[in-house]
Amino acid sequence: MWVILNTILKSLIIIIPLLIAVAYFTLLERKVMASIQRRKGPNVVGLFGLLQPLADGLKLFIKEIILPSNANLIIFIIAPLLTFTLSLLGWTVIPFSSTALFADINLSIFFLLAVSSLSVYGIILSGWSSNSKYPFLGALRSSAQMVSYEISISFILLSIVLCADSYNLYDIVLNQRNGWYIFPLLPVFILFLVSMLAETNRHPFDLPEAEAELVSGYNVEYSAMSFALFSLGEYSNMLLMSALSSIFFLGGWTMPDIISWLLPESFWFGLKISFFAIFFAVMRAALPRLRYDQLMDLGWKVCLPFALCWLIFLVAFLHIFNGLV
């Protein structure tokens, strides 16, 4: 009984701050975009607009949920729940500090790849069950895009695994205490940023939700809280990719010894996540949308060959270096 209560308590400790972070991530994105576009952004609800995410959440909560008459209702209802649940599941293996970790899994990278692969099903099911052409086209685009760039991300993660000699995220962070991987692996770090944007369907790769073509993509038939679950899942995945970028290339919670003692480890980790969150917002405001054929060509003809060639180069380099040592 105590084990169950402890698990529930640990889950709430992760989920509640995460939902608050997701809510205020939307505010951060709107403020950053407003600053780039030389306007004020949300500034009415609360001081400096700080209560705007709560007002948006309340608005979506009290709105009527509309179920299309031609939709497959069971799958239509399950799809946003599946997307939202899977977006939270990936956070269970994220080490927030040297002592804050929900589940220490030796093969945590494989766990993240499995959860990421399953998240495609929520989008496919939502587009198919809506029984409408625009959601279906958006679902097809999103599934093809996510599968394409997951392969590049997998090869990038193999490069990280070779350097750290471990599939465990906690061990990967500990192996960067003397130097972050962003310096020796700068080319794949840039490639990971591109793949991260494509994997989360964000600008300039937001083709599944292209407003000018598909109205809103796979979630166009959803309303109220069912629509909010898709948004929460999307922004949670963006924060998860930001956390993974921090872990793989910026050493997670680690900082140089000269400043690491100033603030708690979790603060440094949150600061790095915030950097990548701002990166997402800046990309949305600064870059135009690509054509879909350009998106797929970039994934299959540029990102995948480069990631594979880098992996082969790294294997050869480490083999020669270890032989010399």
- Digit-coded pLDDT (tens) for 99-109: 777 777 888 88
Q: Name the pTM for this structure.
A: 0.90
Q: Which residues contact 264 (CB under 8 A, 6 or more apart)?
A: 97
Look at 19-28, 84-93, 94-103 and tell me which has the smallest mean pLDDT. 94-103
Amino acid at 179: G
- What is the per-residue pLDDT for 210? 64
- Digit-coded pLDDT (tens) for 139-148: 888 888 888 8
- What is the per-residue pLDDT for 325? 46
Say if CB 246 and CB 276 are below 8 A apart. Answer: yes
- Digit-coded pLDDT (tens) for 165-181: 888 888 888 888 888 88
Residue 131 backbone zone (phi > 0: left; psi -120 to 50: alpha; other: beta): left
Report the pLDDT averaged over residues 185-196. 90
DSSP, collapsed to helix, strand or coil, labels residue 91 as helix
- Quote the tokens at residue 161: 């695994």
Find the farthest-apart pair of alpha carbons in the chain and give their distance in angstroms, rounded: 69
Is 218 exposed, middle or buried (CB count within 10 Å of its CB: 0-12, 13-18, 19+)? Answer: buried
